[in-house]
Structure 1
Amino acid sequence: MTRAEFIARLRSGLVGLPTATATDIVADYETHFADGLAAGRTEAEVAAALGDPGRLARELKAEAGIQRWRQEKNPSAAAAAVFAVLGLGAVDILILLPILMGVVGTLFGFFIAAIALFISGGGVMVAGPFAGFPGGPFAAILMGLGLMAGAVFIGALLTIVTIWLVNGIVWFARLHYRLLKPALEPQSDAQSDATSTGGSL
Structure 2
Amino acid sequence: MKRNEFIRRLRAGLKGMTPADVEEIVADYEAHFEAAAEDGRSEEEVSDALGNPSRMARELRLEAGIKSWESERTPSSAWSVILAFLGLATIDILVLLPIVLPVLGVFFGLMVATVSVFIAGGFVLVAGPFSGFPGGALVAVLAGLGLMAAAVAAGALLGIVGTWLVNAAKWFGRLHYRLIEPAIRGETRGDVA
Name the TM-score, length of structure 1 as normaliser.
0.82
SS in 2 for 1:177: helix
SS in 1 for 2:17: coil
Q: Is the contact made by 1:90 and 1:177 (CA closer than 8 Å) also made in structure 2?
A: no
Q: Which amino acid aligns with 2:161?
A: V
Q: What is the rounded CA distance, in whole Å, between the counterparts of 1:178 and 1:11 in structure 2?
A: 23
- Deviations along 1:15-63, whole A, 9 cap, x unmatched? 2222111111111111111122223322222222211111111111121
Q: Is the contact made by 2:121 and 2:146 (CA closer than 8 Å) also made in structure 1?
A: yes
| Counterpart residue number, 2:154 | 154
- Displacement of 1:171 in angstroms is 0.6
Q: Which amino acid aligns with 1:26?
A: V
Structure 1 residues not aligned, in runs of 5+: 186-201
Q: What is the rounded CA distance, in whole Å, between the counterparts of 2:2 and 2:90 in structure 1?
A: 28
Q: Is the contact made by 1:85 and 1:91 (CA closer than 8 Å) also made in structure 2?
A: no
Q: Which amino acid aligns with 2:137?
A: P
- Deviations along 1:115-162, whole A, 9 cap, x unmatched? 111111111111122222233222221111111000001111111111
SS in 1 for 2:178: coil
**Identity percentage over the alignment?**
57
Q: Which has the higher contact order (CA 8 A, sep 6+)?
A: 1
Judged with a 3 Å threshold, the aligned counterparts in structure 2 of structure 1 residues 174 and 90 are, in CA distance, closer, same or farther, namely farther
Q: What does residue range 1-201 of structure 1 map to in structure 2 within 5 Å?
A: 1-89=1-89, 92-178=92-178
Q: In terms of Rg, which structure is larger?
A: 1
- Displacement of 1:165 in angstroms is 1.0
- Displacement of 1:67 in angstroms is 1.9
- Displacement of 1:5 in angstroms is 2.0
Q: Which amino acid aligns with 1:97?
A: L
Structure 2 residues not aligned, in runs of 5+: 186-193
Per mean C-alpha deviation after superposition, the further-off stretch among 65-74 and 162-171 is 65-74
- Deviations along 1:161-193, whole A, 9 cap, x unmatched? 1111111121122123139x69xx9xxxxxxxx
Q: Is the contact made by 2:59 and 2:177 (CA closer than 8 Å) also made in structure 1?
A: no
Name the TM-score, length of structure 2 as normaliser.
0.85
What CA RMSD, in Å, does the superposition of the two structures yield over aligned residues?
2.2
Q: Is the contact made by 1:90 and 1:176 (CA closer than 8 Å) also made in structure 2?
A: no
Q: Which amino acid aligns with 2:111?
A: F
- Displacement of 1:90 in angstroms is 6.9
